[in-house]
Amino acid sequence: MLKCKLITYTPDAEKLVAEAAKLCYAKSDIDTLSENLTPDKVESFLKLLGDLGHESPIEHASFTFGIEGVSRSLLAQLTRHRIASFSVQSQRYVDKSGFDYITPPEIAAIPEAKAEYEAAMAEDAAHYESIRQKLIEHHLKTNLAAGMSESEARRAAEKKANEDARFVLPNACDTRIIMTMNARSLHNFFRLRCCRRAQWEIRALAVEMLREVRAVCPLLFAKAGPSCLYGSCSEGAYSCGKASEVRQELR
């Protein structure tokens, strides 16, 4: 099951962004930027940035998420957002025997498809473990012959076995991610991935991330989300035609 947690974020993020905006538009020096920056003025500066489309000041605020219960398939989409930092659980160093996996809702809804899917996952897991054990046995003999101690030889053998056995793991295999994005990148991410036309798994993640950041920085993310949330749909002929439902869900 998807789990998304905001681990940490820039302290006083909205005030920091307001200070950056004030520097751009006022005659203040660095030492006096925060003077008289009341909550009302912070809100005013953030609104000004939104009205002007001036997004660079919001890059100073960053947000770090812990993500679990997602597939390696999602990871391939997530890393297309290049202005971000990712740390991902390694299939090279981590033994994935008996791995958890993600089941798409459309498959879960059809009993016959679900049964076949689960059988495929069990078969993949069996192949992974069988290949892994064969590789461990082979590498262990080689390492012992090279003069390694039993414990050292086994550790090295298991690591090397994981490295190659992982090639049979499916896209459905679960993974864990720590991801950091600045607020400007998050706005772009939400615009694309909270859209109803986004793939279901990454959309579910995007919606959870949006809820997390709005809880701590409501002004900064007041208008974050797909284009139809506060304006017209940007998908043209490919629009889902359900803007009212999206607004009800995300506002």
The catalytic residues are: 193
DSSP string computed for 132-190:
HHHHHHHHHHHHHHTT--HHHHHHHHHHHHHHHHGGG--TTBEEEEEEEEEHHHHHHHH
> Any long-range contacts for 203-211 (C-beta under 8 Å, 24+ apart)?
204/2, 205/2, 205/4, 205/67, 205/70, 205/74, 205/78, 207/249, 207/250, 208/2, 208/4, 209/4, 209/6, 209/65, 210/250
